[in-house]
Structure formats: C-alpha cells, structure tokens
C-alpha cells in the first residue's frame, strides 16, 4: 500500500507541476501581468484535491463503502433499480457495479493519475479564466 501512495503522490506532483508551469509560461508571454497565473495555480490545486480526496468522499457519502453498499442510501436505491431492470441481478460493468468497485477498493493508480490530470487541468483553466483581468477599453 505504501508504494501505491508514493506513486500516486509523485504522479500528482508531476501533473500539477506541469499545469502550473504551463500557466506561468502563459503569463510570461503576455505583454502585461493579467493575474491569471495565481488563479491557475489555485484551480489546479483544487482540481487535484477533488480528484484524490473529493471523489472517494463523494462515493462514500452516496453509500458506496468499503464494506459494501450502505442500507437506505442512494447507492442502495441505484442497486435496487439496476437489479429490477436486469431481472434480479446487477450486471457486471454497469454503473452501480463500477461505483461499488471504486467505493470498496478505491481508484487504481492509473485512474487516479488520469482523474488528477483531467480535473487539475480543468481547474487550472477555470481558475485562470476567472482571475484574468480585463483590459480597459482604449479610446
């Protein structure tokens, strides 16, 4: 388990660092400081945090836990609907089956890296866009 945590941490740092480096390079290319660099850094950090912490916490809150699907939860309702639709069982590879697998075992290193890259990049782009200063209109 320790090796997996170290691998995920290294991949996360590499992805976040490359996203931040891209934002900094964008700022250096612009003629004036537009303030989007710090927004990109904050956005990348939030996106990576969502990928590594938010998704597992969210799945647990829905009822997809390590001990199975929690009784009376949203996950239990989803499982019931899937079982009714499939004639009594949950199909392998279905949404409920995949979410339960992630809830029980967590995301694989590859899935964590991909999710971190996607959400970190999306967060960086959103943060840069939200914090970009608009140029005043010229007369």
pLDDT bin (cut points 50, 70, 90) of residue 76 is very high
Going by pLDDT thresholds of 50, 70 and 90, the confidence category of residue 74 is very high
Q: pLDDT band for position 80 (50/70/90)?
A: very high
Is pLDDT above 80 for 99?
Answer: yes
For residue 17, which phi and psi values (nearest 5 degrees)? -65, -40
Angle at 119 between CA 127 and CA 111, to 5 degrees: 165
CA 135 to chain CA mean position, Å = 32
């Amino acid at each position: 388990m320790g090796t997996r945590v170290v691998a995920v941490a290294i991949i996360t740092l590499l992805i976040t660092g490359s996203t931040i480096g891209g934002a900094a390079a964008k700022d250096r290319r612009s003629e004036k400081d537009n303030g989007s660099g710090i927004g990109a850094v904050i956005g990348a950090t939030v996106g990576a945090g969502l990928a590594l912490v938010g998704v597992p916490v969210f799945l647990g809150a829905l009822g997809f836990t390590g001990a199975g699907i929690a009784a009376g939860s949203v996950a239990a309702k989803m499982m019931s609907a899937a079982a009714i639709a499939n004639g009594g069982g949950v199909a392998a590879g279905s949404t409920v089956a995949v979410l339960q697998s992630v809830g029980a075992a967590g995301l694989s290193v590859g899935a964590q890296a991909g999710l971190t890259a996607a959400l970190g990049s999306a967060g960086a782009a959103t943060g840069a866009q939200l914090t970009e200063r608009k140029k005043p209109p010229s007369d």
